[in-house]
Structure 1
């Protein structure tokens, strides 16, 4: 096929044709022309060999990356640097579509991603107590979250109301993502204005725990060259079975599309989210086990807040059929803050009224964060013939300027002490449980906190210039090679301020990073490929923005009063797998085996010799299988499972060698099924399983008791069942029922390394959604 193989711009004649075809949507008939125009042209060429237009007996999907007629299956990545369909891409990319997310009933990214295989959650630090903190294939990924291919550096609360699909790339990914991404990356593809069809969707959800959620998604084609789209959100709920803890969300996403000529198009977006919670941290560990029946001990003054604003400009220009430029520019800000209550079991002093007894004492944990960032990414796509072979070349330049200022609050507890800890005779602490074993009256207002925002203590800044080149070439009609090389050069500064004396210290340095990616695919038969891939990643001294000089959590390593001359942490991944696109490309089956090795790991603080700067090394090996799409014309699936082993290979602490990594589950899996029982009714459910894991510091062994031979910060395994059903009253009106955690399983998501945070998963909840399209 001559012409461009990347995503093409849409000529006016095609835009008009697509609008005419979309007019049949009121009869329940959808066409795939608009989706084809957004695919990589390699995929379009394959479609064109079969038919110019496919007609599907289903509603139009506004997601341009979707597989027509298969709501859980994406055909292509939302990152246009992946020029081939997902079924031909030589690495593991798990894609969750909006339809799959809606059916699951989950809305926050933390809960959506927790259900996915190979991902565990960690407890957050400083800028966000819960942090959207993910661990992918055993490697820290809290700073490896992207939106439309650009890094989203804030430790913010993230919502799904403006997401078209969510992509989880497994394995080191620095060629695409830059620094970090040692275990993978998460890329949210947002909803954007489309010139192909008018649509509007309104949803209202009510349910148990005073749940209320209202969303709107409206797209208007003003003319052949101009379209606008608006998304809105209002949501609030009590945390299931943990009231008075609550969550509240307000959001807006606005997008405008403009194409004044056939060669040029522009999309301008705004995204805003206001999130405010009274957060419940759940339980804590007692003698190495989760404490049971711990009441909600949130205080009235507690809060967890995120205030996010981002502005994005996307510009595309086609110079010729074989050369085009895609430009992406973003400015964003995020203000995060929290003051939360932690609890722990304590045996109170002998002088307590009623004698010695075990109780729950409360403490405060808090911090704030101000994030400001600018990014520009330029991608030049060039199709050319070199040495008799057709090459799909991508030349990229990227500049990012990220700044994160962290600080603390002044928190004063003005409430009266009600118990004694220690051996004194004077009330000196706050206890939630009395000597009779009953909750004390007014337990959620014991501390009566006075909260004042204090000054900053760390100011983290990094400016990075990146250049990369990627190439995809068909060596034969069966053998395809992808290769990529990326160079990053950065200037880093961490300013530290004593919040009492206001004395400051500055720790600047600069460095360069090289990373590469090589993938090979071989077509074994119709719709099936085998692939092998190698990729590298690198992270820097001080790569995590929210932890200051806590080097064991990714903060800056300081030595003799200066920033240490540490080498970058290095990760390498080898993966072999196969993908099988079956049933006329409506079901994608995947399987892979992999090994990720991370070396030169900076393990912790208190370094005293240069030789301990890069003292750690670990390895993760495993396999993953998946199935996404239509099993039959009535049964749809999104499923995946992974099994992994981790091992610390080297450490400054010899006892760590041979141990398992912290925050690492050997096995995990999910199966979500949807069955179309009648033309109007579908039913479904999801089962998710997470194996046992242990809390602790990232990139090193979980805490271990040499005497008992056991890890000391356990998070038990769990299995959770969710059910859903939907009934279409008429072509425009649908009712959906979701029951999450049907068996009311008591389960936990993550544990703080000290054991006194044990984040609890949501109890059983029921939600009824009214969905109206017009």
Structure 2
């Protein structure tokens, strides 16, 4: 923590002069919470000043937490097509590869050293289920760093990610984009909004996407999606918004390469070498989300909001996972991993927001109730080779195509085995999780210089998991019932209206089975009776809006501690006894440095360590998996001419370990991207994106037994039509 604090002290003097020389800094004024209107695409700005979430009861500059908002303009300039692509613009986020209990194509982000796969949200509602998320219907993405269960409930140890959906609004516009590029890239999107009369508007988003993975053309992607919405009562006291989202994909899964027998690095083979089997492997994903939202202005500054969301996801796959055969030689076993993940969830959330004077102080309040029920089923495929041998735990190299030399494999070899649903040794797991939550947030304004932000949330959590008996295993029935509360407290000092300095404290709770049976944290006999893991976050930071408030600057130091992590007691049991610490620094820049110059950049330093390994002392002093010490991202554009804009970006990430023992991992990397756009007319613009310009070979996902090779150099040209 001392290193982090020193860094902040070095950065703070750099921010203060910029604030002091900002043009036309307004006098200190009351910090009224503005009406939130998301217009990132229309404003063509990389700076977002307010969150779409009501739980942030002040503008972002007065919110005492590290919050990074990825605006629509950044998604457009980088042509980020998936959630993972978009999140790579934020330093400090790493990505875990999937395995038998987490599909290789799903979204598995890790923040500040902790898995955040179960901390993804859509419009403030938990996005449950194994899936790969698209960007075609996204308005902006909000990333909250550090333990934050007070905002989102269970999990959220490293932070949470909220996706803000595009919905029908006032105005008529049509935005169409058609992109073509190298490696078979083809993508089309449509975003059309129309006034339908009498305060009603409709919006339709469409997407179709086909591509091969640059440098690994055997790996391909195919998906399409549709997202209609309609809003009634625009301009009136009551608004009703109905929306639906459907996306489905059919891709080739890619476990890439195992780690070398010595040295702990990924096996050094050409980027193009794919150890899968194209005649058998697949990964298919379907997501359906229906949402109804009602907003009503009660008068007197109070508003009521109720949202009901139903979602259904399904992801199933068979993938080849290359593993070493024996302890010597270069022979790889081509194991077959598989999964069938289904999830249905129903959530209702009611919020009351408003402002009032109480005790001579102004309060910006939010209070809410949330009820949710998630039902999931996890199954797999029973994959057999041509001799009837099981391809999951290992295979006989005497059977054709079960094994290969690391230096030679043809992914188009024929598939001579068979597969059926459900392997006898791994029966179907059914999990039901119900949660009832209540929360309250308040920003108290003492005077124009001092604010207090406080929040509390209570969750009543119930999870049940059952498996049926099979020929080889007994039926099981497990449950975990627990109640937990979390808190947030932050003090904000505003030396001027466009700057703030803050100190905050917040907590998280991570109960057993937080992933609803969809990943590696499913409830099990060894963990069913354990209490939630507890985490807390201490953060000191400062935020400034400079250069006529067109540029946001942020800096923070923090310490996050998980105090009762689940660990082994050395006698075959799991207990709550571990302690894990991560300390670090966050820096951010977003907005305009000049009339023609835009920037979105950040830096994260993470010092993670296992401080208490419990009775066994396991991994004591080790660094967390997927927690690089240093990472930074930069995206910047400059308008050379009224019609011509050029830009580029850099992403740099330190070495990351892939396991808790720190014996294997992926090396550090730095890669560069470029773009140029030209406005042909008011209706037509052209954009060229070059990715991984230096054709850097690096690894963008890691797991305990394999590393994912990232895409090579590629180019995409996009024509955008607006009318």
- TM-score, normalised by the number of residues in structure 1: 0.84
Question: Is residue 769 from structure 1 mapped to residue 718 from structure 2 by the alignment?
Answer: yes
Alpha-carbon shift at residue 600 of structure 1 (Å): 1.1
Candidates 456, 470, 473, aligned match of 1:485: 456
Residues 106, 382 of structure 1: alpha-carbon distance in 2 compared, 3 angstrom cutoff: closer
Q: 1:302 & 1:424 partners in 2: Cα distance? A: 19
Alpha-carbon shift at residue 545 of structure 1 (Å): 2.6
- Alignment partner, residue 645 of structure 2: 682
Residues 44, 398 of structure 1: alpha-carbon distance in 2 compared, 3 angstrom cutoff: closer
**SS of structure 1 residue aligned to 2:494:** strand
Paired residues of 1:495 and 1:505 also in contact (CA < 8 A): yes
Question: Is residue 445 from structure 1 mapped to residue 426 from structure 2 by the alignment?
Answer: no
- Alignment partner, residue 700 of structure 2: 749
- Alignment partner, residue 379 of structure 1: 351
Residues 449, 275 of structure 1: alpha-carbon distance in 2 compared, 3 angstrom cutoff: farther
Q: 2:543 & 2:501 partners in 1: Cα distance? A: 7
Structure 1 residues not aligned, in runs of 5+: 1-39, 48-62, 350-356, 697-701, 704-710
Residues 192, 278 of structure 1: alpha-carbon distance in 2 compared, 3 angstrom cutoff: same
Alpha-carbon shift at residue 75 of structure 1 (Å): 1.9
Alpha-carbon shift at residue 130 of structure 1 (Å): 3.6
- Alignment partner, residue 42 of structure 1: 32
Relative contact order, higher structure (CA 8 A, sep 6+): 2
Q: 2:587 & 2:341 partners in 1: Cα distance? A: 39
**SS of structure 2 residue aligned to 1:332:** strand
- Alignment partner, residue 555 of structure 1: 522
Q: 1:290 & 1:308 partners in 2: Cα distance? A: 33
Question: Is residue 734 from structure 1 mapped to residue 709 from structure 2 by the alignment?
Answer: no
Question: Is residue 716 from structure 1 mapped to residue 671 from structure 2 by the alignment?
Answer: no
Question: Is residue 293 from structure 1 mapped to residue 260 from structure 2 by the alignment?
Answer: no
**SS of structure 1 residue aligned to 2:76:** helix
Alpha-carbon shift at residue 501 of structure 1 (Å): 5.3
Residues 253, 593 of structure 1: alpha-carbon distance in 2 compared, 3 angstrom cutoff: same
The C-alpha deviation readout for 1:452-498, integer Å capped at 9, x for no partner, is 33385211211010011111110111101111111111221011234
Alpha-carbon shift at residue 426 of structure 1 (Å): 4.9
**SS of structure 2 residue aligned to 1:276:** strand
Paired residues of 2:245 and 2:288 also in contact (CA < 8 A): yes
Q: 1:511 & 1:463 partners in 2: Cα distance? A: 11
Paired residues of 1:416 and 1:446 also in contact (CA < 8 A): no
The C-alpha deviation readout for 1:343-388, integer Å capped at 9, x for no partner, is 2355799xxxxxxx63443121111100000001100113221111
Paired residues of 2:655 and 2:667 also in contact (CA < 8 A): yes
Q: How does 1:32-111 map to 2 (within 5 A)?
A: 42-44=32-34, 64=38, 66=40, 69=43, 71-111=45-85
Paired residues of 1:70 and 1:586 also in contact (CA < 8 A): no
- Alignment partner, residue 435 of structure 2: 464
Q: How does 1:261-280 map to 2 (within 5 A)?
A: 262-280=236-254
Q: How does 1:579-618 map to 2 (within 5 A)?
A: 579-603=543-567, 608=572, 612-618=574-580
The C-alpha deviation readout for 1:22-79, integer Å capped at 9, x for no partner, is xxxxxxxxxxxxxxxxxx992549x9xxxxxxxxxxxxxxx72549745211121111
- Alignment partner, residue 589 of structure 2: 627
The C-alpha deviation readout for 1:517-575, integer Å capped at 9, x for no partner, is 01111111241110111100101122223467xxxx4332525xxx6431210000000
**SS of structure 2 residue aligned to 1:525:** coil
**SS of structure 2 residue aligned to 1:334:** strand
Residues 424, 659 of structure 1: alpha-carbon distance in 2 compared, 3 angstrom cutoff: closer
How many residue pairs end up in the alignment? 680
Q: 2:646 & 2:365 partners in 1: Cα distance? A: 45
Candidates 594, 599, 608, aligned match of 1:637: 599
Alpha-carbon shift at residue 122 of structure 1 (Å): 1.1
Q: 2:569 & 2:525 partners in 1: Cα distance? A: 8
Residues 476, 372 of structure 1: alpha-carbon distance in 2 compared, 3 angstrom cutoff: same
Paired residues of 1:644 and 1:666 also in contact (CA < 8 A): yes
Paired residues of 2:517 and 2:523 also in contact (CA < 8 A): no
- Alignment partner, residue 566 of structure 1: 530
Q: 2:385 & 2:296 partners in 1: Cα distance? A: 59
Q: How does 1:213-228 map to 2 (within 5 A)?
A: 213-228=187-202
Residues 116, 500 of structure 1: alpha-carbon distance in 2 compared, 3 angstrom cutoff: farther
- TM-score, normalised by the number of residues in structure 2: 0.90
Alpha-carbon shift at residue 212 of structure 1 (Å): 0.5
Q: 2:578 & 2:521 partners in 1: Cα distance? A: 13
Alpha-carbon shift at residue 282 of structure 1 (Å): 1.9
The C-alpha deviation readout for 1:92-118, integer Å capped at 9, x for no partner, is 111111110121132111232234211
Paired residues of 1:532 and 1:575 also in contact (CA < 8 A): yes
Q: 2:354 & 2:397 partners in 1: Cα distance? A: 79
Residues 527, 607 of structure 1: alpha-carbon distance in 2 compared, 3 angstrom cutoff: farther
Alpha-carbon shift at residue 604 of structure 1 (Å): 5.4
Residues 343, 501 of structure 1: alpha-carbon distance in 2 compared, 3 angstrom cutoff: closer
**SS of structure 2 residue aligned to 1:656:** coil
Paired residues of 2:119 and 2:126 also in contact (CA < 8 A): yes
Q: How does 1:297-696 map to 2 (within 5 A)?
A: 297-300=275-278, 301-346=280-325, 358-414=330-386, 426=398, 430-433=402-405, 439=408, 442-454=410-422, 457-500=428-471, 503-546=474-517, 553-559=520-526, 564-603=528-567, 608=572, 612-652=574-614, 653-696=616-659
- Alignment partner, residue 131 of structure 1: 106
Q: 1:671 & 1:717 partners in 2: Cα distance? A: 17
- Alignment partner, residue 92 of structure 2: 118
Q: 2:464 & 2:339 partners in 1: Cα distance? A: 21
